[in-house]
Structure 1
Amino acid sequence: MRSPAASLAPEPSAAPVPAGVPAVASVSPGRAERPPEPHAPPGLEEALSALGLEGEREYAGDIFAEVMVCRALPRRALPRTVTPEMRALVVDWLVQVHEYLDLAGDTLYLAVHLLDSYLRAHRVRLHRLQLLGVACLFVASKMEECDFPEPASLCLLGAGSFSLSELLRAERRILRRLDFRLHHPGPLLCLGLLAALARSSPMVLLLATYFLELSLLEAEAAGWEPSRRAAAALSLAHRALDGAGPGPEPALYSPLELGPLEPCMARAALRGPAPGRAAIFLKYARPQRQGTSLTAACLLRRPQHWLS
């Protein structure tokens, strides 16, 4: 594992709501109103049970609304000092650190969400981009892990790019500038729920997880709602394994709503281990993950309309 080559806001608009889920009414400042009860899709309680949430069946509708109706980050350009390629390089390195430390999947997604949230609201010097990324991973691990990594170990993995005091200052800066708004139902949780609803096979879920993780490298993906990203990954996995067959049921998004998401994920999978973007491909090429990235490339090379 190596360090990147370079050591390196307006209020978000409401996200489109998945089909079948009523829109939440706007609330004026100072008023706290409970959003209307969503129409839970068929099989939601059984899906929660499949995810080990048998005790939460009474709150199935609330869980569905919290997870699936989550706003995306505003579609705002990255700072001038940070190109999409430099962002991808840092995310690629974070994937390596995340895997080396054997952290939970949600930790990686939250870390990238915090990184994108910060980049869309505040300036960052290019030589501090790696420090910002690892500080976001440190904060995310405190939110998601029972035993989060020691900051000194993160400094060692940074190969001397930053000191312990710089890491702790960066952590405080993130918390302050994001106003401690750290909770985020990420797309990985959405994918688990959608796959359980669709009764997807383990192979479909593994392939969809690969597609979803590849989207972390794409700067534009931060402007997509977590549920839409998960739905696109699951739909692409179903159609890649079943040819041009139908997607999963129930379909919470129409093909039009999934728009450019599936082609973006397919192009990323076909790109292979490109320089600065190889960590996820290599991670899913290992036998522990059944060579999923190699399988995905073979499946997607078949003539399909999503590549048009």
Structure 2
Amino acid sequence: MLSPNASRDPELRSAPAPDGVPADTSAPQGRPERPLGPRAPPGLEEALSALGLEGEREYAGDIFAEVMVCGTLPRRALPRTVTPEMRALVVDWLVQVHEYLGLAGDTLYLAVHLLDAYLRAGRVRLHRLQLLGVACLFVACKMEECVLPEPASLCLLGAGSFSRAELLRAERRILSRLDFRLHHPGPLLCLGLLAALARSSPQVMLLATYFLELSLLEAEAAGWEPGRRAAAALSLAQRMLDGTGSGPKPALYSPAELGQLEPCMVRAALRGPAPGRAAIFLKYARPQRQGTSLAAARLLRRPQPGPP
């Protein structure tokens, strides 16, 4: 299994604790770099029912605001010791570990979110990057999974590059630096809600999930709101499979708001199984996922209609 170099040096070092995501996301006017979130659209209660939340109709608006109108990470660059390529290498390895352990989809998105939050908190030693990634996955498992992987198993998957004691020490440091702010409605949940609102077909949903997972490899995607990232993946998949204007679509985001996101996902899909970024492509090339990555590459090489 591909993994970054790692050695047994002192524990992770970091700068002071990050600002984190503010608890109050209802006042975006104080954060000019973040656009206002969308309002609850018609058909929201029915969409929640399609997701198995039919008992939550009374709180439909609150659920939508919590999931879709979610704060982003502070817009800071990666530490100078970590390049986007190094970050992508760690995320690619986490995708392999996540699939090998059979973890829930939300666990992967939360792990990458915690990794990005920690990287934007301060300095990280390059040879500790793999340890940081697996520690973020371990914390995410405690938030999302019913059965936790054993720390010893995670150490074995790391090819012995860190010990159990180092893993637990890294976990404590993550919790401290992030001030225990671990809750994050991920883009996968947003995608499910948007797909239910748009009544998307299973094929569109599968392709959108592929595009959304590809965005995990891109460092710039950490600065995108989860709802907007999910909307870009769904819009791109809908346009590729069904054509412009087919099927009901909730107008939550304008084409301009999705304009930066879709090209990033297209570039990642056309890159194919590049070294250090192959796990997601190979994962979605399997028959269990209907060869989605192969089909996406073929479709993207054809002339596509523009956004409405």
Alignment correspondent of 1:183: 183
Code of the residue aligned with 2:177 in structure 1: it is: R
Query: In the TM superposition, what is the alpha-carbon distance from 1:268 to its structure 2 partner?
Result: 0.4
| d(CA) in 1 for partners of 2:163, 2:181 | 26
Mapping for residues 1-308 of structure 1, pairs under 5 Å = 1-4=1-4, 6-7=5-6, 9-10=18-19, 13=31, 15-19=34-38, 21=39, 40-245=40-245, 249-304=249-304
Counterparts in 2 of 1:159 and 1:248: CA distance versus 1, 3 Å: farther
| d(CA) in 2 for partners of 1:222, 1:190 | 15
8 Å Cα contact 1:284/1:291 also seen in 2:
yes
| d(CA) in 2 for partners of 1:59, 1:220 | 33
8 Å Cα contact 1:89/1:276 also seen in 2:
yes
8 Å Cα contact 1:232/1:261 also seen in 2:
yes
> What TM-score results when the alignment is normalised by the length of structure 1?
0.90
Code of the residue aligned with 1:117 in structure 2: it is: A
Counterparts in 2 of 1:53 and 1:162: CA distance versus 1, 3 Å: same
8 Å Cα contact 1:131/1:170 also seen in 2:
yes
Tell me the secondary structure at the aligned position of residue 252 of structure 1: coil
Counterparts in 2 of 1:173 and 1:247: CA distance versus 1, 3 Å: farther
Query: In the TM superposition, what is the alpha-carbon distance from 1:16 to its structure 2 partner?
Result: 1.5
> What TM-score results when the alignment is normalised by the length of structure 2?
0.90
Query: In the TM superposition, what is the alpha-carbon distance from 1:251 to its structure 2 partner?
Result: 1.8
| d(CA) in 1 for partners of 2:178, 2:305 | 41
Alignment correspondent of 2:14: none
Counterparts in 2 of 1:11 and 1:109: CA distance versus 1, 3 Å: closer
Counterparts in 2 of 1:177 and 1:301: CA distance versus 1, 3 Å: same
| d(CA) in 2 for partners of 1:206, 1:103 | 18
Query: In the TM superposition, what is the alpha-carbon distance from 1:244 to its structure 2 partner?
Result: 4.2
Counterparts in 2 of 1:166 and 1:11: CA distance versus 1, 3 Å: closer
Residues 109-164 of structure 1 show CA distances to partners (whole Å, capped at 9, x for unaligned) of 00000000000012100000000000000000000000010111000000011000
| d(CA) in 1 for partners of 2:150, 2:197 | 38
Query: Percent same amino acid at aligned positions?
Result: 85
Code of the residue aligned with 2:143 in structure 1: it is: M
Tell me the secondary structure at the aligned position of residue 232 of structure 2: helix
Alignment correspondent of 2:12: none
Code of the residue aligned with 1:41 in structure 2: it is: P
Residues 96-115 of structure 1 show CA distances to partners (whole Å, capped at 9, x for unaligned) of 00000000000000000000
Query: In the TM superposition, what is the alpha-carbon distance from 1:55 to its structure 2 partner?
Result: 1.3
8 Å Cα contact 1:238/1:248 also seen in 2:
no
Range with bigger deviation, 6-15 or 171-180? 6-15
Counterparts in 2 of 1:168 and 1:148: CA distance versus 1, 3 Å: same
Query: In the TM superposition, what is the alpha-carbon distance from 1:295 to its structure 2 partner?
Result: 0.8
Code of the residue aligned with 2:35 in structure 1: it is: P
| d(CA) in 2 for partners of 1:274, 1:183 | 32
| d(CA) in 2 for partners of 1:287, 1:41 | 36
Structure 2: gaps of 5 or more residues: 8-17, 22-30
| d(CA) in 2 for partners of 1:272, 1:72 | 28
Code of the residue aligned with 1:179 in structure 2: it is: D
8 Å Cα contact 2:20/2:73 also seen in 1:
no
